[in-house]
Every structure is written in structure tokens, then in C-alpha cells.
Amino acid sequence: MTFVGLLLLLCLAVPTLSFQSMSNKVQSRKRSAGEPSKLSAVPKLIVFDLDNTVWTPELYQLRKLEREKKIPKAGQDVQLMDGMKIVLENHVPKLQEQGVQFGVASRTKSVEWAHSLLGQFGLKDQFPYIEIFPGNKKKHFQNIHLATGIDFADMLFFDDARDGKYGNCEPVSEMGVLACHCPNGIYNEDVFTTALETYSAWNRSPNHIIEWDGKVTNSAEASTDRIPGLVKKLVHDKRYGFIQYRKGNARARDMFFHFNNLPEGKCALEEGDEVTFEIRTDPRNGKLMAADIELEMTKDSDTVQMRVFSMNMPFAALLANGYKTLETRNGTMFTPYAEGTQMLLHVGRRTYPDGDKHIEVMKSGGLSDGEIEELKKLPPGFGRGNAVAIVELGRTYETTLEERSDPEFQRNVAAFGADSGKIVTEIKRAAYLKKPIRVQGAGGVFKAQIDPDVVPDGWRVPTNEPVDGLAEFASISG
């Protein structure tokens, strides 16, 4: 055998490492803290989101300072993430010596605050490329690309929001940037060093995201499997909509569909309907879309379908316990539903970060600390991730800030007028279910199959026969 033939045989015998297998090696590699292994490649530009990535809390949470027309103070009102402090001290200077540049891309509405805090933390000199304005994160990166001349594949991006309406990692990864999803921010050094090592092994193909656990996923991989989801939005005049779905433990995503992909080409769906679909590539524009959409009909004659909406604690408990009698939103979620409509209340997994201002509002009505704590509790066995109560809606109407700032109104909402949404829905009554029901949460009003026996006495339970696209209600004795 010639030398060339032997060399070719050896090459064929050595397995080629895929990007995924290389990323698995990165996350399993043992290394001392703060000492990433020698990198074969580094990005030319590293870009950071700000809120809940570089610093905490998110600026929208500082409403009290906004009302008082004060500017947040670095190190007092806003803190750098612990891991980010180490990155700034130990890694940024070394990477800058290698020619790596740094930038910021933030969609915060608190633009002046963000610029002020960057200056207070001394980051403006270290991060010369700064894009801070609400809107599309892709626009941030287009501007940075034009300013630097750096290709997207030479960039690494850190953000706490992966996908969905407010997601950033997925759309930026579509541009060719390697995105690192850090839902808890850069809370330790490993978030940063793992991303650097993964970048070094990256094959520079688009749509790759470094997940929170260090694994790498391809957000553009279409699936031939049928995927369950909920119809989130229908735009009838333009004949398209969105289906919300979830894969594994990842955040919920929205998938576009056209009415042509509905059964018989007709819009036989209602927002909140359960469907299954396949993900395919739209031949007209090359983007992913939902196709072969099928409505999931009730298969269990012992269950019925009811509408559900989700709230986070403590406000879910305040509503279920009868204290909160007004629900405010800035969107029109409840507008389509007539007075007297009944829905289930689902408890989300998050705690709404209002800085305990609801306690201040409740105390203004004379409640003691003990009474407030009781109203904020759910019954034993009723917890997050469950539908816990049934409510009857009253009127839905629009209000002014002056109306929302009335003390009695604020107590009925459990929030200050400035923090409340402008569209108000009355909660005529609420009652706990006979037992909680595990339900997967979703945005807006969605639907779930329930055992009718859990509905408390004196309430109506729907039948499974649709009437004009809405559920017909049958009375049950109480």
C-alpha cells in the first residue's frame, strides 16, 4: 500500500466529531474555576443583553423610581450579576488583548436609565458598540454589523430570553450569530467560559443556541412529528394566525400558520383550541411554518372543555380568595367575552415582581399583616401549575389613569393605578374547584379538558356540543 493510500485509510477510520458532540465534550470537560481550556478560536465581537443578563433587577421593575422621577444608582438600585463581575475583571481585559471587541444590545424601554447605568458601572469604555432601544433585536445586530464590519458568524451573544414574543436568542441565531441562552443571567463565571469554549468548537452554521445546561440546539430543525399546541391568535382579515407550542422543558414558542393550512382551507378554529401540526418550510420565503393542522377533538366523554386564563402569585390567590375583584390588562384578552362568561383560573409558576406594593395597597384598607398573608395563600394541595378556581366575568371596559388611581379601585385591583392596565374586567365571583387540575399554562385565554365533577356546586359546566363556535353551558344543581 502506498503512503497516500495508508493516510487516506487512517483518515476514514477516524470518526468526525459533530458540533453537538463537541459541545457535549465542552460541558463535560473538567477544568478549574476561571480557567477555560486553550481556545482554538475566539469571537471577534461579544454582545450582551442588559436586563437580567448583565445586571438585576430588570429596569421595568423600578416603577417607584420612575414615579419619583429618580435615576437608579449602580450598586444600590441595580447590581451587576456575580458572574458578570468576574467576567469584567478577569476575562474582558485578556480578550481585548486578543482583539475581541464588546457591545450591548438591549430592548429596554428605559433607554436613558440604561445609558446612565453603563456609565455608572464604568462599562461604556469597555463596550463601545451600544444599541439600546425597544423593538427588534435583529435591528440591533444589523446596526452593530454595519458599525463594525464584523460578520454575524464572528459574534457571540448572551441573553436571558430565548424565544417567543419577547425572545431574543432564536431570532439573533437565525442571522448567524451564536447565541447563549442564560435564563438566570451571567450568574457565575461558567456561563461565560462554557460559551467561549462552545464558540471555539462551533461550525459557524446559523440557528445554533447554547442552552442553559451547556447543550447546543438547532432552532431551525424542522420536525415531521406531530406537535401539540394551542391556537394563540387568529388574524381573520389577513388569514393567518399563531400556534403556541412547547418542546420538552424549553420555553413556549409561537409558530406562524396560514389559513390555507387549516382543514379544508377554512378557519374552523377558535383562539385557545388544542391542535396538532407539523413544522415545515414555507417554499415562498424559506421560513418555518405550521402545516397539516388538525383540531384535537375531545376523546374522553367523561371530560369537558373550559376556557382558562393564567395569573401569577400572589395575585392569583388574591383573586381566588375574593379580595381582588378587578383584573386589569393592557391587552384585550377578555374583550370578546360577554358578561357572565365563566373561566378557570390557572396559577402560573412565577411570582409577579411588584416589590410588595400590593401589601401597601391592601394595608390602606385597614388589613393587618396576618390578614394579608392569609389572603395570599392557596388551600393545601392547590399550587402553581394547576387550575384552582372558577370565576365569572363581569363587564370589560377601558379606564383612565385618574380612575385607576382612586383608592377603592386600587384596593380592588391590589395595585397602584400607575401599575395597572388600562382595560379592566370585573370579577363577579370566584370559587375554588373541588380539587386542583394540572394544566399546562399558556398566554391569553386558552382551553383545557377537565372533569366536570370538580366544578363547585352552583356553577355551570359546559357540554361538549359547540354552539356557534362557543361552548354551550348546562346548569348543575347546587
48, containing H or E segment: strand 45-48
Phi and psi (nearest 5°) for 282?
A: -70, 115
Dist CA 268 CA 295 (whole Å) = 9
Q: Count helices and strands (H / E) in the chain.
A: 14, 22
Contact 368, 416 (CB under 8 A): no
Q: Which residues contact 3 (CB under 8 A, 6 or more apart)?
A: none
Helix/strand/coil (H, E, C) string of 113-127?
A: HHHHHHHHCCCCCCC
Name which of 150, 437, 155 is nearest 310 in CA terms: 437
Q: Which residues contact 113 (CB under 8 A, 6 or more apart)?
A: 59, 62, 71, 72
Is 300 one of the annotated active-site residues of the chain? Answer: no
Dist CA 474 CA 477 (whole Å) = 10
The widest CA-to-CA distance across the chain, in whole angstroms, is 94
> Which amino acid, one-letter code, is at 116?
S
Name which of 83, 198, 105, 122 is nearest 159 in CA terms: 105
Q: Output the CA–CA distances (angstroms, integers) from residue 28 to 179, 197, 204, 399, in the order listed.
A: 20, 12, 22, 55
Name which of 228, 194, 197 is nearest 214 in CA terms: 194
Task: Please identify which of the residues 49, 163, 254, 419 carries the catalytic annotation.
Answer: 49
Got the DSSP string for 19-38? HHHHHHHHHH----TT-PPP
Dist CA 172 CA 187 (whole Å) = 22
Angle between helical axes of 189-201 and 19-28 (0-180°, round to 10): 150
What is the DSSP secondary structure assignment for residue 69, as one 8-state letter? T
Q: What count of residues does the chain have?
A: 478
Dist CA 126 CA 66 (whole Å) = 28
Is 51 one of the annotated active-site residues of the chain? Answer: yes
Cα-atom radius of gyration of the chain, to the nearest Å?
26
Dist CA 173 CA 168 (whole Å) = 9
Mind telling me the catalytic residues?
49, 51
